[in-house]
Amino acid sequence: MRLVILGAPGAGKGTQAAILSEKLQVPHISTGDIFRSNIKNETPLGILAKQYIDSGSLVPDEVTIGIVKDRLAEPDCKNGFILDGFPRTIQQADSLDKMLGELGTKLDKAVDIYARDDVIIRRLSGRRVCPECTAIYHINSSEHARKGICGNCGAKLIQREDDSEETVKNRLKTYHLQTEPLISYYKGKGLLVQVQGEGSPADTTAEVYQVLGLTE
Q: Which residues bind Zn ion (CB under 5 A)?
A: 130, 132-133, 135, 150, 152-153, 155
Q: Hey, is 113 helix, strand or coil?
A: strand
Rounded CA-CA distance 203/15 in Å is 12
| Sole window of 27-35, 73-81, 106-114, 133-141 interacting with ligand ADP (rule: CB under 6 A) | 27-35
The 3-state DSSP class for residue 149 equals strand
Which of 2, 36, 109, 127 is an active site residue?
A: 127
Q: Which of 124, 127, 146 is nearest to 135 (CA)?
A: 127
CA distances from 45 to 60, 64, 181 (A): 11, 10, 27
Q: Is 168 exposed, middle or buried (0-12, 13-18, 19+ CB in 10 A)?
A: buried
- On the 0-12 / 13-18 / 19+ scale of CB atoms within 10 A, 119 is middle
- Residue 116 annotated as catalytic: no
Active site residue 13: yes
Distance of CA 4 to CAs 12, 13, 22, 156, 164, Å? 13, 10, 15, 30, 26
Identify the residue among 1, 52, 121, 142 touching ligand ADP (CB under 6 A).
52
31 binds ligand ADP (CB under 6 A): yes
Query: What is d(CA 21, CA 171) in angstroms, rounded to the nearest whole number?
Result: 25
Which of 12, 27, 85, 197 binds ligand ADP (CB under 6 A)? It is 85
Task: Choose, from 88, 109, 123, 128, the residue flagged as catalytic.
Answer: 88
Residue 92: what residue type?
A: Q
Q: Of the two residues 32 and 197, which places its CB atom closer to ligand ADP in the complex? A: 32
163 or 207, CB closer to ligand ADP?
163
- Select 135 or 216, whichever has its Cβ closest to ligand ADP: 135
Q: Which of 4, 24, 39, 58: binder of ligand ADP (CB under 6 A)?
A: 58
Look at residue 152 and give the partner it binds from ligand ADP, Zn ion, none, a contact being a CB closer than 5 to 8 Å depending on partner kind.
Answer: Zn ion
Question: Rule CB under 6 A: is residue 64 a binding residue for ligand ADP?
Answer: yes
Question: Which residues of the shown chain bind ligand ADP in the complex (CB under 6 A)?
Answer: 9-10, 13, 31-32, 35, 52-53, 58-59, 64, 85-86, 88, 92, 162, 171
Task: Return the active site residues.
Answer: 13, 88, 127, 160, 171
